[in-house]
Structures are given as C-alpha cells and as structure tokens.
Amino acid sequence: MASGFNFPPTGAPNVNSSTPLRPYYGSPLDSPLQQYYQHTSQLEEELSHHSELNSQEAARELLSYGMIKYLTLAIATPFENAQTILQVQYLPNDDGARSSGNDDSSAAEERRDEEFRRAQEEAEEEEYFNSGSGSGGYYSSYSRRGTSAEDFPSSRSNANRLNPSDAVFHERKDIDQSGYLIRADLYDDDSRPAFQLAPIEGGVWKTVTDLVKHPTEGWFSLWKGQYTNWVYEILHLFAQPTLEATLNDTFDLYDDTIPLVHLDRFGPNMATMVTSHLVVGLILSPLELVRTRLVVQTADPTQKKYTGMVNCISTIISEEGVSALWGGVNLVPTVLYHTLTPLIANSIPLVIDRVFNISASDSPLLFSVAELVLETLDLLIRLPLETVRKRLQIQIQAKIPGKRYETVIETRKRPYSGVIDCVYKIIQEEGGQHKRLSSKKSDDGEVTFVDRPWYSSWGVRGLYTGLGMHMTSNLAMFAVGAVTSLQDDGDDW
C-alpha cells in the first residue's frame, strides 16, 4: 500500500508535551514560532526583574539623598533664619520711630476697637445669663439673701497689696480709647511684649544667640520652617530640570547637561533655563511664603498664629483667599526674584569667558578673582530684592479677621503698597545719621541711648542685611579655590 501520508510515530504519546491536544508532537522547540515566543517571554521576565532592581535602587538613592539634603539644610537653617529675621526687622531712625508710632496707633486702632467691642458684648452676655435675666439666677439668689462681697475673704493678703504711693503709679503712659498702651518709642523696653526680641543691631551670629537666650524661643526656634524648606528644595530639584529638558526637547535644542559656556548659541538654552526656573518658582512660591511666616512668627504657643506648614496654608486660604498664595503684592517680587537669580548666576561664567576672555583652565586664579567680583555684584542686586520680598510676605491683609500675627521681632505695622514703596520707605525711615540702639533705664530713672555704629548711617543699609555673611562665604570659597589652583600649578612643575 502506497503511503502518501505521514502517520504519527508508533509508541506511547509524549505526556510531557506542552501541547496535550497533539501529544505526538515532540518538544515545543521544534517550532521556530514557539522558540520566538519562549525567548520573548524570558526576555520580559529578565527585564521586569531588572526594572524591579532599578526601581528599588532608585528608591534607595532618593531616600538617601533626601536624608542628606535634610541634614544639610539643618546645618544652614539657623543662619538663614537669623538672616530672615534681620531682613524683616524694623529699625527706624528718630523721625521714622515717631511716624511709626503714629502709624501703629492708627493702623491698630480699628482692630483694637473691634476686639474691645467683642469683649464688651461677651461680658454683657455673660452678665445677662448669670443674672438669669431677672428670673432668679445663681448670683441674684445670693443678693436676695443679703449676701455681700464682704462675706467672702480676700485672696490677697495685706503684705502683697500694692502701695499707691509707689513711683510706678505716678508714671504717665499713653493709652488709646480702648485702654491699650501705646508704644511711643519702639526702643522702649518697658512696653515691648514679653515674646518679642529687643532690637538687634548685630549680625547673624548675634541674632542666633539672642534667639537661643530668649525665654519663649530657645534652641528649637533656630529650625523654624526647616521641613517646609526641605519640601520646597526636593520638589524644585525634580520639577525644574524636568521642565527644562522638556522645553529643550520641544524646541530641538542641545542637551541641558551641556554647560552654556560651551555652546555657540547659548540664547535659546538660557531662555528655557530661566523659563523653567520662573515657572517652577511661581508654582512653589506658596511654600516660600509659608516658610517666611513660620520663621518670623513668635514661638510662644499662646501667641503664635500658625502651627505648621499645612495649618499655615489652610489659614491663609480661609482668611486671605487662595489668591494670597500667589498673587497680591507678592507676585511682582516673586517674578523678579525667580527670573534674575538664575539669569545672573548662569551669566557669570559667560561674561568671564566671552567678555573678559579669561579661561578657567589657562588662568584659574584670575578666573576666581573675576568670579568673586561678579558674585559680589550679584549680591548687591539680589539682597535688596530678598529683603523687600520677605517684608511683603509677612504682610497679612485678611478678608476675614483671625488671630493676630505676632512676630518675634519688631516689624513695620503699616503695610507696604509694593516693591518701590518698600524700597523707598526702608531708605527714608530706617536710614539716617541719628539712629540709636534700644534704651535702658539707670537706677535713678534716667533714660540713656547708645549711638549706632558709623556704618548704620547708610541710607541703604536696611536693604543689605546679611551682606557680611554672604561676603564671608564667598571669600572662603575663593580662598579654597585659590589654594587648590596653586597646588595644581605646583604639581605641574
């Protein structure tokens, strides 16, 4: 019989076959298509395994970087907080102090009257309910029985009673119509709140020591707002490079990892870099607002307005509206700060290389000197903007009045109307030749004032608070770079 067909092989079926419906087929590797599918599945398993390992490694690296960043910020936070307090501190001259006293009374008069009216209404309501509205309350029952105040013993002994002939009762203090004490002089220690620091005339280190020694501040006040600053730095670290890379890919520009000094046409890359900093800075600016307010407010638990980052954001939204987080008087300084800061910082190497024609490889020492000079100019531009921005950030213009915002240092009570007004008022009210330190009383009751140092008479000094600390840091970095370059030159010889 002619065999024109292929019959299955004799013998038992292959029970180990991967195709049970066709048991006489051999190994699945006999089919090229099956080999391809099996190879693909193995590759997918290996890639998924590697991706899991990569994701775990990335998570560990991110966690370690976050911890290192938090510890690094913990070292710098006390000095940054001290600089913030010095920048918002209001140190008026003699004319500014008098005008500020008038401004304080007029600006707070309406609020004090409102508080007085509320307290009076509460007292009348409490008296109404205690008297039972004439229907026989607890205290009225005592009065009907003829019980007088003389039946209750006094809790104050005769030894602790105040002496009306004491000199303190003959001192005259100015009060407003609600009975609140008016501070005629911001340097008066007697009328200063207990939770507030005395005027600080020293630098950053003096501010740190004053905060530590103050009874309501202490060591922990040096790290106010650190968590908020850490969240801002982490979010900015991921958001800004991502947006810059996206803009570069959109406009088909060179990789953002290439330094601008090595590009022939650096303008487009500079534009995407500044744009990414501006957009991310605007989005994250509420965190900067929150951090400034947390740093400047008092640490006294009975007086502080905000308890943390989330509470500060929710309070601002409920009292001032959502627009207060991004808009208002803070919008213009925020735009200027997040535009000029990256623009100037990234333009310094370009100016040294293409304008001064100084190469970092050929003349490292001369390059460091030019860099120091340009960074000093950067400070002269950036510090006034920082000062104005932080003073505007602590201005609260609540639509719904809430708890008062008590500051750890004296600040200007009358708000600034904008950037130009803030700069003008700082020069006008806090500059001059007759500024003085806080006053003190001698044993005979005489008040003496101490003149401020000669450099305090600069009209623009209030705009450059913290300049010495930044200059010291720049000089230290310059010294380290100069020593390193000299060592490299010695090794070459």
Residues 204-218 pLDDT 10s:
999 999 999 999 999
Name the residue among 79, 91, 76 with its Cα closest to residue 200.
Answer: 91
Spatial contact of 437 and 331, defined as CB atoms under 8 Å apart: no
Lowest-pLDDT choice from 20-29, 34-43, 286-295: 20-29
* Tokens 């406009």, located at residue: 251
Lowest-pLDDT choice from 125-134, 137-146, 189-198: 137-146
- In whole angstroms, how large is the CA radius of gyration of the chain? 35
CA distances from 236 to 231, 279, 281, 309, 376 (A): 8, 10, 8, 17, 25
| 3-state DSSP assignment of residue 449 | coil
Q: Which residues contact 127 (CB under 8 A, 6 or more apart)?
A: none
Biggest alpha carbon distance in the chain? 144
Q: Is the pLDDT of residue 379 over 80?
A: yes
Tokens read off for 307: 């308890």
Give the mean pLDDT of 281-296.
96
pTM (2 d.p.): 0.72
* Tokens 């040294």, located at residue: 352
Dihedral over Cα of 223, 224, 225, 227: its sign: positive
DSSP code of residue 355:
I
pLDDT band at 273 (very low <50, low <70, confident <90, very high): very high
Length of the chain: 493
Separation between Cα atoms, residue 200 and residue 202, nearest integer Å: 6
Beta-ladder partners of 181: 175
| 3-state DSSP assignment of residue 451 | strand
Q: In the chain, what percentage of residues exceed pLDDT 70?
A: 63
Give the mean pLDDT of 336-355.
94
φ, ψ of residue 451 to 5 degrees: the values are -70, 150
What mean pLDDT value characterizes the chain? 77
Spatial contact of 232 and 287, defined as CB atoms under 8 Å apart: yes
Q: Is the pLDDT of residue 134 over 60?
A: no
Amino acid at 249: D
**Predicted local distance difference test score (pLDDT) of residue 264:** 83
**Predicted local distance difference test score (pLDDT) of residue 149:** 46
Beta strands in 387-442, from DSSP E residues, in sequence order? 440-441
* Residues 403-448 pLDDT 10s: 999 999 999 989 999 999 999 999 988 876 544 554 455 555 555 5
Separation between Cα atoms, residue 176 and residue 281, nearest integer Å: 44
**Predicted local distance difference test score (pLDDT) of residue 221:** 93
